[in-house]
Amino acid sequence: MSAELLRLINVSKIYGTGESAVAALSHINVSIQPGEFVAIMGPSGSGKSTMMNILGCLDAPTTGHYYFRGVDVGSLDRDQRALLRRNFIGFVFQGFNLLKRTSALENLELPLIYRGTPRGERHELARKALALVGLSDRETHTASELSGGQQQRVAIARALVTKPDVIFADEPTGNLDSAKSHEIMELFRTLNEEQGITIVLVTHEEDIAAYAKRHVRFMDGRIASDTLNVQRAGRLARRAAS
């Protein structure tokens, strides 16, 4: 089990009690390996956001077990789960959640401040993360001075700066136009293929999910299908052979 990055075993999530109880997730079994790029898909109310919240340690299952690198997350107390999120997980959301009057570099340094990283090391790590997303020339620009696509790149860099085991991206292109959406997804694909970063993406859009290597589709709180993205797997195989 320790070789797996994430694993859910018979996980259910129920909101409410009695006749008003609603099963957001029902008996979910799924595992994700290091280096995977997985798209969690499904219509509104299908359970995909609940799944993401449990994987990101933002919520806990009602029944079942969630293992992160072999550790049963349910056995951790609130402070331990917070440390897990802080040290091993990166988040990218539909809203960029940047401090508007703060520079791109300073936005990236915030999670490092919470970790107690020394100032000089914070600067260096933040600059490297901005370089990874192609924004070395925007270090001193405030978030309000950046385009939507640039703001999302900063948000991705902020998720990368702590060198997490996995990045959870919840509808990361929801506030972007089509061109910027595909630009951001190309960035995710590059980070996955060239940096080996594990990415779990929630989306309801087929063209966005096409960038992932694997598609897990939800319907009515259950996994309807779990399939390899054949087209992308073929491209990767041809690239490796060339």
pLDDT digit string, tens, across residues 14-44 = 999 888 899 999 999 999 999 999 999 999 9
Residue 234 lies in a domain: yes
Residue 47 forms part of a structural domain: yes
- 123 assigned to some structural domain: yes
Q: pLDDT class for 231, splitting at 50, 70, 90?
A: confident
Residues paired with 213 in a beta bridge: none
Q: What is the enclosing helix (H) or strand (E) of 239? A: helix 230-241
Containing structural domain, residue 34: 6-241
Q: Quote the pLDDT of residue 232.
A: 66
- 1: in domain: no
How many angstroms separate the CA atoms of 102 and 120, rounded? 18
188 within a domain of the structure (yes/no) = yes
Q: Identify the CATH number of the domain in which residue 154 sits.
A: 3.40.50.300
The confidence score (pLDDT) of residue 136 equals: 94
The pLDDT, as a whole number, for residue 1 is 41
The whole-model pTM stands at 0.90
Predicted pLDDT at 137: 94
State the average pLDDT over residues 137-154: 94
Helix (H, G, I), strand (E, B) or coil at 200: strand
pLDDT at res. 115: 87
Please count the structural domains in the chain: 1
Is 230 within a domain? yes
3 state SS of 50: helix
| C-alpha–C-alpha distance, residues 124 and 117, integer Å | 11
Cα separation values, 34 from 19, 118, 119, 134, 140, Å: 40, 29, 30, 24, 34
> Mean pLDDT, the chain, as a whole number?
92
Mean pLDDT along residues 132-138: 94
Pairing assessment for the beta strands 6-15 and 222-228 based on DSSP bridges: unpaired
CB 136 within 8 A of CB 126: no
**Count of CB atoms situated within 10 Å of the CB of 180:** 17
Give 24's DSSP letter: E
- Sequence-separated (6 or more) residues with CB below 8 Å from residue 168: 52, 55, 56, 89, 90, 91, 92, 200, 202
Is 87 a member of any domain? yes
Is 108 exposed, middle or buried (CB count within 10 Å of its CB: 0-12, 13-18, 19+)? buried
Query: Taking 60 as the threshold, does the pLDDT of residue 241 lie above it?
Result: no
Per-residue pLDDT at 209: 95
Neighbours of 18 (CB within 10 A): 5
Residue 183 located in a structural domain: yes
The order of strands in the sheet holding 198-202 is: 89-93, 166-170, 198-202, 37-41, 214-219, 222-228
The predicted-structure confidence for 43-64, as pLDDT tens digits, reads as follows 999 999 999 999 999 999 999 9
Q: What is the pLDDT of residue 124?
A: 95
Name the CA dihedral angle for 226, 230, 232, 238, rounded to a multiple of 10 degrees.
140
pLDDT digits (tens, 9 = 90+) for 195-219: 999 999 999 999 999 999 999 999 9
